[in-house]
Amino acid sequence: MPRGTVVSAALLVAATALATGPAAAAERPPGQPAEAAALLTELRELYHEAGAATEAYNETGERLAEQRAEVERLTARLADTRGELAGARRTAGRLAAAEYRTGGSPELPPVLRLLLTDEEPARALHDTTVARRAAAGQLAEVRRLAEAEHEADALAAEADEAWEEERRLAEEQRDRRDAAHERMNEVAGLLAGLSGEQRSELSAWEERETAAGQREFLAAHRPAEDGDAPDGAADSPGARALAWALDQRGKPYEAGAAGPDAFDPAGLALRAWEHVGVTVPRTSARSWQLLPRVPLEELRPGDLVIYHEDASHTALYAGDGTVVHPPAPGRDIAVTPLAHAPVKGAVRPEAG
């Protein structure tokens, strides 16, 4: 059975179980509504899958753009080399024609031509030597450029093949992203069919699960209080990036969006830091790979918190154990507890 069908079936079973009311609740152990917990687990897995698919598509798109730029660079190099080669061949042709004209009589050897010339023999010998050296040098240049053309042509062909492969992969990742978000829409439809009481029960369970994760996280990694931050932190690039991100609260999550009206998590981080003149990678995985790591106990406002083992989600640290981000598809940008999902680590973009 396809995963989407399994998820939908689980959601329908959970929704039906939630609809059975107080009698069924009385049969459960206190505080252990298993169906709601299962539904919450499925939802979180699906949120993660949809976010990871979006990140993978964005990452492939970044590589595709880089590969396209490489193809264009190598194609331009090939065109330049071919232009230089054509010019060198024309020059070599002119030198050969001049040598033929001045070399004159094929029946007279060069030494005899020197003796019969009206010019001084030393001057004629010098001119002939220079001309032949020039011709030989031009021939060597033609050979060098011909080899360069062959190399540039091979590199351009390889780059073009790599671009085609990246394009194919981008299409696959786009399909994966779209399929994940179709399942998200399906879940949204199922949730819309729940009663207000059922949704309240689910929300309460989610809040309790998040609160428990937050307590556990802060017990192990409590960030420094704002009062412990370095002097001038209120006007630091991170604080200003955070302030910009906070101004985006209420705007929707949209896969692949980087503003101004909607954002995905990495898109919000990108624009927030861009607002203060700092470039950060387009995807969470690249941020984790390329930016300086920072201990979780030393988080400062604006630092990027990276989530999940595959580094597929990011949020800006907002102080007091909270972050600002679009938490998941279908949810607007908001401030949430830092430990709303498994934390992988944190990075700090560098200004100037």
The sheet with strand 304-307 has its strands ordered as 334-337, 322-325, 313-319, 304-307, 343-347
Question: Does any domain span residue 297?
Answer: yes
Beta bridge partners of 306: 314, 345
Q: Where in the sequence is the domain holding 236, given as residue range(s)?
A: 225-347
Beta bridge partners of 315: 305
Report whether pLDDT(208) > 60: yes
Query: What's the rounded Cα separation, in Å, for the pair 300 and 281?
Result: 19
Extract the tokens encoding 114. 């020197």
Query: Do 254 and 179 fall into the same domain?
Result: no
pTM comes to 0.67
End position of a domain, from candidates 140, 168, 192: 192
Query: Do 15 and 150 fall into the same domain?
Result: yes
Query: Do 16 and 77 fall into the same domain?
Result: yes
The angle formed by the CA atoms of residues 254, 258 and 263, to the nearest 5 degrees, is: 35
φ/ψ of 172, rounded to 5, equals -65, -45
Question: Does any domain span residue 332?
Answer: yes
Report whether pLDDT(67) > 70: yes
Query: Do 241 and 98 fall into the same domain?
Result: no
Do residues 349 and 301 make contact, with C-beta atoms less than 8 angstroms apart?
Answer: no
Question: Does any domain span residue 61?
Answer: yes
CATH of the domain at 307: 3.90.1720.10
Report whether pLDDT(123) > 70: no
Query: Do 179 and 249 fall into the same domain?
Result: no
Report whether pLDDT(27) > 50: no
Query: Do 104 and 183 fall into the same domain?
Result: yes
Question: Does any domain span residue 9?
Answer: yes
Average pLDDT over residues 272-300: 96
Query: Do 177 and 268 fall into the same domain?
Result: no
Question: With 0-12 CB in 10 A as exposed, 13-18 as middle and 19+ as buried, what is 20?
Answer: exposed
Question: Does any domain span residue 306?
Answer: yes
Question: Does any domain span residue 216?
Answer: no
- pLDDT band at 37; cut points 50, 70, 90: low
End position of a domain, from candidates 192, 210, 240: 192
Query: Do 8 and 133 fall into the same domain?
Result: yes
Query: Do 179 and 260 fall into the same domain?
Result: no
Query: Do 67 and 134 fall into the same domain?
Result: yes
Query: Do 295 and 172 fall into the same domain?
Result: no
End position of a domain, from candidates 192, 214, 247: 192
Q: How many domains are there within the chain?
A: 2
Query: Do 262 and 177 fall into the same domain?
Result: no
Express each pLDDT in 143-191 by its tens digit. 777 787 788 788 788 878 878 888 888 888 888 888 877 876 776 676 6
